[in-house]
Amino acid sequence: VNICMDNLDDCDVNADCTYLGGDSYTCECRDGFEDIGSGLIGECEDIDECFNMTICDDVTKQCVNTNGSFYCECRPGFHYNTIDDTCEESQKVQGEFIIVNEEYKENYANPNSIEYKQFEEQFKTAMNGIYKNSETTKYTYQETELLELLKGSVKPVYTLVFNDDANIDTLALEALLFESLDDGMLDTGIDMWQIPPFTISYTDFDACDYDELNDCSDNANCHTLSDGKFNCSCKNGFEDLNTAYPGRYCEALTTTTTESPVEKLPQDDTDAMQIVLGVLVAVLLLAIILIAVFAVYQYCQRRSEKQSYNAAGHLTAIQPNDYVIDSLNDGGGWDDFGLGSFDVDGRLTRSYSGSTGSLNTADERHIAAVIEHAPDLNVCRTLYMAS
């Protein structure tokens, strides 16, 4: 009887059994495991190779420990170059749009669910189809990352990943997606997604908002840079163990230094500076938003003057299938919006009301973008209708 062959041994599941004849055999932990027991049967525990911080040997890669092994993958902020097997620095931009004819599934909130994964695959294929085939982006576009799926009806929030040579133009990216729609529909090869053009938006991506998309240590501050990039720095009181790639390995300083009031002063100054800076940025942003809203309002006023109405009070002089944003007439505010199209008599024939939720400043920006890229869309008339 070969005890090992017949599985009669007591070796650890991660050990190899060697039969020595008779009743005797030995157990030896496999590669990637170490024997932490004192007996002969082996108690094999995974070796955490990532404890060696330089095992991936490159600041562009990070180590992932697995049971019995490990692998190196591109760090957040880098993408994989299959041609020379390297990780290259990425630029990213954040995008979103609304699919009005898809039903939101409860499991879309869970990125590990089958429903989410299925959507993700279909979504990435669709986005690759657009940006890998466009003349302006095909040499710089790398991939699409789905960040989350929000309700309303289904609102994917994602990033487009580009290589470092790309000159990212958010309005041009919006236009490419818009131009891929056929009568308001995006053909994913599986489904036809109905996407109101004004819901398409690209904005700056802030990797510091997403824990899984930046690799700053829990004991580090994350700093947002342009083009979707970021860097990290260990917090006060923590030592950086790998200054080649700062803010990733931060260890509490063990030496207790006597606190001197002199050392505190610069910290207070920094705090005060940050508050002043924060207020300045907030005021600046508010000013920009007000100017944008005023500009859209002015533009719409001018467009509204061109419209005429029939006896029933419907808009006339509108071509069939013109898009409009149609307020639900709650007093003329910038909320409760829908998107629709009109017939020759100016009656609303199709509408997607209630799917967009409250408008915010980002939505107002989309409207401005749609007007710029598609001046034929009559997106302004509703302001008039709502009054």
| Nearest distance in Å: CB 222, Ca ion | 28
- Nearest approach in angstroms of CB 69 to Ca ion is 5
Closest approach of Ca ion to the CB of residue 365, in Å: 47
For residue 65, state whether it binds Ca ion (rule: CB under 5 A): yes
Give CA torsion, residues 356, 362, 367, 372, to 10 deg. -150
Q: Which is nearer to Ca ion, 32 or 129 (CB)?
A: 32
Q: Considering the complex, what minimum distance in angstroms separates the CB of residue 136 from Ca ion?
A: 44
18 binds Ca ion (CB under 5 A): no
Q: Does 45 bind Ca ion (CB under 5 A)?
A: no
Q: Closest approach of Cβ 34 to Ca ion, in Å?
A: 10
Residue 247 beta carbon to Ca ion: minimum distance, rounded to whole angstroms: 25
Q: Binding marks (x or -) toward Ca ion, 70..89, rule CB under 5 A?
A: x-------------------
In whole angstroms, give the CA distance from residue 188 to residue 122. 7
Pick the closer one to Ca ion by CB: 28 or 46.
Answer: 46
Residue 75's closest CA among 207, 215, 248?
A: 215
Q: Which is nearer to Ca ion, 65 or 128 (CB)?
A: 65
Judged by CB under 5 A, the stretch of 40-48, 242-250, 284-292, 346-354 that binds Ca ion is: 40-48
Minimum separation from the CB atom of position 53 to Ca ion (A): 15
274: left (phi over 0), alpha (psi -120 to 50) or beta: alpha
DSSP secondary structure of 262-276: HHHHHHHHHHHHHHH
The secondary element (H helix, E strand) that includes residue 92 is strand 86-96
Contact segment (CB under 5 A) with Ca ion among 44-52, 126-134, 258-266, 358-366 equals 44-52
Q: Which helix (H) or strand (E) holds 296?
A: helix 261-305
Distance (Å, whole) CA 203 – CA 318: 32
169 makes contact with Ca ion (CB under 5 A): no
Q: How far is the CB of 211 from Ca ion (least distance, A)?
A: 23
Q: How far apart are the first and last CA of the chain?
A: 93
Assess 46 for contact with Ca ion (CB under 5 A). Answer: yes
Q: Which stretch binds Ca ion (CB under 5 A): 21-29, 58-66, 141-149, 312-320?
A: 58-66
Nearer to Ca ion, 49 or 88 (CB): 49
CA distance 10 to 23: 12
CB-nearer residue toward Ca ion: 70 or 131: 70
Enter the DSSP assignment of 1.
Answer: -
What single-letter DSSP state applies at residue 30?
A: P
# of chain residues touching Ca ion (CB under 5 A): 3
Determine what percent of the chain falls in helix, strand and coil, rounding each to the nearest 5.
30, 30, 40
**Residue pair 229/216 in contact by the 8 Å Cβ criterion:** no
Closer of 67 and 81 to Ca ion (Cβ): 67
Query: Cα 170 from chain centroid?
Result: 15
Positions that interact with Ca ion (CB under 5 A)? 46, 65, 70
